[in-house]
Amino acid sequence: MERREKLYEGKAKIIYATDDPDKNILYFKDDATAFNGAKKGTIMDKGVINNKVSAKLFQMLAENGVESHFIERLSDREMLARKVDIMLVEVVARNYIAGSLAKRMGKDEGGKLDKPIIEYYYKDDALNDPMINRDHVLVFGIATAEQIDTARATAIKVNQILSEYLFERDILLVDFKLEFGNYNGKMLLADEICPDTCRLWDRHTLEKLDKDRFRRELGNVEDAYLEVCRRVCGEL
């Protein structure tokens, strides 16, 4: 597969065209951002780890009936993926009280929710990705009813599969963000699933093993990412 021109560079990845118009190459960077880019830094080998963890989880989800844009991992930092038209809605699934949910509801972090909460956020950096609901999605034409409902149903399924998979590896899936893209009329899971996009806590100690260590300057960020990779992939 030949890598061609750069199509887009985001906070965590660069997307390249290939000699196949239906496929892109995703290059995972070590750049780290938080608070919609207000905080910036670097996490050593983050791109390598996120690529590996995402590939493993996409493969595992495919084995459980969840289709995604993932095709294969090409190298330490490169992933071959189907070219999708990204829906401008981020879908967040929450299993425990943490982060912005704790602030919005005036609750302490750590409590397990009686049932998962599914939230939607409008993908717009200039607006700081505001939280929206299904009515906003439909009234403003951000996505169709079928697209947002498919995304919700898939997020619920992914949450169940990932929660069980990670729990067996002594990791609590606290919350996570998913993105979806249209591929030939079908909504596919897209982007990445990794410590950048998930809150992951050690099941026994509740130690944070995700980007919150960077956001909150807790230290040992690289070690946390490596530990997630070890538990998820079975190797470093």
Q: Where are the domains of the chain?
A: 3-82, 85-220
Q: What is the pLDDT of residue 39?
A: 80
71: helix, coil or strand? strand
The correct CATH number of 3-82 out of 3.30.200.20, 3.30.360.10, 1.10.3720.10, 3.30.70.260 is 3.30.200.20
Count CA atoms closer than 13 A to 223's CA, side-chain side: 5
* Element of type H or E holding 91: strand 89-96
DSSP letter (8 states) at residue 208: B
Mean pLDDT of 9-27: 96
196-206 per-position pLDDT tens digit: 999 999 999 99
Q: What is the CATH number of domain 85-220?
A: 3.30.470.20
Q: What is the pLDDT of residue 111?
A: 96
User: At 34, is the pLDDT very low, low, confident or very high (cuts 50, 70, 90)?
Assistant: confident
> Is the separation of the CB atoms in 80 and 143 below 8 Å?
no
Rounded-to-integer distance, Cα 3 and Cα 18, Å: 5
Mean pLDDT of 165-179: 98
Q: What is the pLDDT of residue 235?
A: 63
* Element of type H or E holding 234: none
Q: Share the mean pLDDT of the chain.
A: 96
Percent above pLDDT 70 for the chain? 99
Q: What is the pLDDT of residue 35?
A: 78
Mean pLDDT of 176-184: 97
